[in-house]
Amino acid sequence: MAERGERVLLVSTDPAHSLGDLFDRRIGDREVELLRDGPGTVVGLEVDPEAEIDRYLEEVKSNMRSFVRPAMFAEIERQVSLTRHAPGAAEAAMMDRVADLMHHAPERFDRVLFDTAPTGHTLRLLTLPEIMSAWTDGLLRSRDRSDAAGDGLRRLLGRKAEREAPSGDDLAWFEQPTDADEDPRSRKIREILLERRRRFTRARRALLDPETTAFVLVLIPEKLPILESLTALKVLEEHRVPVAGLVVNRVLPAGSGGAFLEERRVQEAEYLDRIDREFDHLPRIRVPLLARDVEGIESLRAVARYLATALE
């Protein structure tokens, strides 16, 4: 892609990052230029889950402080800190960052590639936009009901206090509150929830758009990776995430000798046949097992050219 002049952002969301090892560079949680080829460039970024949780929880605490008395700040700090290791906290924090990258990175890059963690973590991450949008919608509905009930009660009590004469519409005071009626705190809560819903709606829309997004499964020709990939494919298709194909990695090259390798190749051939049967509706690329580890720009270029040739 970079050789064609494209600007590429390569993002790792895997807690056990490997991008730095592949490029033989220290990357971390900031954009680092890894390769420049004329106008084309590859920029790497390793998202730090711990840093994302810290940022996410700090944002939660900051929002909550604006709704309570200062005397409650210490309790907010304690309660929010307890959620750090709660189930789903890391995924929610990570999805916040991924959604932000999905929205803003295309403004500066032609391609954004996410190198994700093993399948279970990735599937939880991909289904979060739908889950969190539904959760936010529920909070908004609850907030609407609370606002409407509170406004109706305030109007009723105010009318009793003022001994107002009926206006002719006995239900007029139950009408939805206007912007003038809604207090600043309620408006702030609504703004936060609406912005959160917009963020995850954008992410979900992008994930489901086959014109802009494609998911590529990578596996090796062994039993457990095949089963794991079949599970992943089923979940992705159930959520209508577009799957462009799969890459079968570390395939033994033909002609490698020795009884041990021959036996491995016979078993591998069975698994390759199974992959062709189970994933017959998807494009498939086989990448051979290389003599040495893929590390550094030149070996990555060799793999990239192999993939490009297979796609032609």
User: Percentage of residues in the chain with pLDDT exceeding 90?
Assistant: 20
Q: Do 1-117 and 214-312 show the same overall fold?
A: yes
DSSP helix/strand/coil, 284: strand
* Domain chopping of the chain, boundaries: 1-117, 121-212, 214-312
Q: How confident is the model at residue 151, as a pLDDT?
A: 58
Count of residues in the chain? 312
Are 10 and 45 a contacting pair, CB within 8 Å? yes
Are 93 and 13 a contacting pair, CB within 8 Å? no
User: What are the structure tokens assigned to 148, written together?
Assistant: 């409407």
Rounded to whole angstroms, the Cα distance separating 43 from 6 reads 11
Are 182 and 228 a contacting pair, CB within 8 Å? no
Domain 1-117 in CATH: superfamily? P-loop containing nucleotide triphosphate hydrolases (3.40.50.300)
Read off the pLDDT band of 93 (50, 70, 90). Answer: confident
Taking all residues of the chain, what is their mean pLDDT, rounded to a whole number? Answer: 78
Read off the pLDDT band of 168 (50, 70, 90). Answer: very low
The phi and psi torsions of 48 (rounded to 5 degrees) equal: -90, 110
**CATH assignment, 214-312:** 3.40.50.300
State CA 111 to chain mean position distance.
Answer: 16
Element (H, E) at 41: strand 40-46
Are 36 and 14 a contacting pair, CB within 8 Å? no
User: What are the structure tokens assigned to 22, written together?
Assistant: 């592949």
Rounded to whole angstroms, the Cα distance separating 312 from 156 reads 73
Please write the tens of the pLDDT for every residue from 25-34: 889 888 999 9
Are 26 and 59 a contacting pair, CB within 8 Å? no
Beta bridge partners of residue 111, listed in sequence order: 8
User: What are the structure tokens assigned to 200, written together?
Assistant: 């995850």
Are 92 and 132 a contacting pair, CB within 8 Å? yes
Q: How confident is the model at residue 140, as a pLDDT?
A: 63
Bigger pLDDT: 140 or 177? 140
Please write the tens of the pLDDT for every residue from 170-181: 433 333 444 444
Orientation of helix 119-162 relative to helix 223-238, angle to 10°: 30
Beta strands at 40-46 and 32-37: parallel, antiparallel or unpaired: antiparallel
Read off the pLDDT band of 48 (50, 70, 90). Answer: confident
Bigger pLDDT: 215 or 175? 215
**Residues near 209 by beta carbon (within 8 Å), at least 6 away in sequence:** 242
Read off the pLDDT band of 136 (50, 70, 90). Answer: low
pTM of the model: 0.70
Are 9 and 109 a contacting pair, CB within 8 Å? yes
**Residues near 275 by beta carbon (within 8 Å), at least 6 away in sequence:** 219, 221, 226, 246, 248, 284
Q: How far is CA 255 from each of CA 43, 143, 262, rounded to the nearest angstrom?
A: 38, 68, 9
